Amino acid sequence: MTRPDGADRTGMKARLHLWIRLILLAAVMALLFVVDTATNYEVAAAVFYALVVLTAAPFLNRRVLIRLSALCVALTVLSFVLTAKGNLSTGLANMGISVVAILMATWLILKMDAARQAAQDAHAKLVRIARIKSLEGLTTSIAHEINQPLAAIVTSGTACGHWLAHDPPNLDRARQALGRIVQDAGRASAIVARVRSLTRGDPPSTTVFSFNEAVQEVIGVSSGEIARHGIALVLELAPDLPPVHADRVQIQQVIGNLLLNAIEAILSGPAQSRVIHMASEVVGGMVQLSIRDSGPGIPAGVRDHLFEAFWTTKEDGMGIGLSISRTLVEANGGQIEAEAVKTGGAIFRFTVPPVQQENSR
């Protein structure tokens, strides 16, 4: 003989509880019918059928509840017909009040049930919308993050074709361009993997690395863009920085985002004032990088929204870069901030924990 498992036992207990409730309900209805029939017309015991309907509402579906309500009304009328004592006019009034009470209770329960169902449907719809938005956010994030290495691949590919078209071909420069293409393609692949893991909530893939070297690598990738726009890049990288313990690709994503934003910010200004200042140092026990541009700065009221997703002041912007940057920095144990510079421009800073601090936790 097979013994019922946990789910079967739970189902049996639920069915047993339902039958007990139905039996008690039937007993109460029978008692009300007897009292209402045996007493005078002046005793309106049938009005308590409304309480029976209210009590049964939590464990009966709509169709059964309506049938129960109809049964209560029928019992009320039958009781009135069978009652032979008391004032007939008062009996008619009491019967009407009882029927109205039963019907009103049923109507209110059905309205509340409909409202609850509508709220559940709205919640389910919001959940579906949130899932779609999450997918859109992931797609937008990946598109935004790999845009820079893809642009670098196009530039290097064009340069490679240019060097190969020389007569004679400059093979050394072409090989260098091909090397940059391979490097940028690998970086794009790593970024996609990191964004996907970040969306899944995976922890950062931390390693120990030189912060200044990571900064220099990003600058090397962006050097063509910096030179093309005639931007003066001022570097003040502290030589005695401790190594940091973080996800190198994610930190370089942040540096690349902030540097790209600085480049875009100063393009609207005169060519002779296009300056970006980058500095690394230890502040408050954390390794900090600051990127200051000479652009239009941060308008009043904008600063509080800078790191919000899909919020941007750019006409063609997606408003995702700074939001991703904050997520990445905080995932690696740092903080990011921005402020306007009184003399013009804006400065963005973020921190990364050094190895010493990480080990001391």
pTM score: 0.50
Q: Which amino acid is at 172?
A: D
Which of 53-57, 169-173, 175-179, 235-239 has the highest mean predicted lDDT (pLDDT)? 235-239
Q: Which of 58-72, 104-118, 263-277, 278-292 is modeled with the greatest confidence? A: 278-292
Q: Which residue has tokens 């030189």?
A: 210
pLDDT at residue 191, rounded to an integer: 73
Helix runs in the chain, H state only: 6-38, 49-56, 62-82, 88-165, 171-199, 211-228, 248-266, 321-331, 355-360
pLDDT tens-digit readout, 311-345: 566 655 555 678 888 888 998 899 999 988 888 88
Instruction: Give pLDDT tens digits for 87-119.
Output: 888 888 888 999 999 999 999 999 888 888 887
Residue 282: phi, psi to the nearest 5?
Answer: -100, 120
* Residue closest to 248 by CA, chosen among 216, 211, 199: 211
Which of 5-19, 104-118, 262-276 is predicted most confidently? Answer: 104-118
- Omega of the bond prior to 4 within 30 degrees of 0, cis? no
Q: What type of residue is 306? A: L
CB of 242 closer than 8 Å to CB of 284: no
pLDDT at 208: 92
**Rounded to a whole number, what is the distance in angstroms from the first to the last CA of the chain?**
58
CA-to-CA distance for 115 and 111, rounded, in angstroms?
Answer: 6
Q: Inform me whether the pLDDT recorded for 187 exceeds 80.
A: no
Cα(340)–Cα(300) distance, integer angstroms: 9
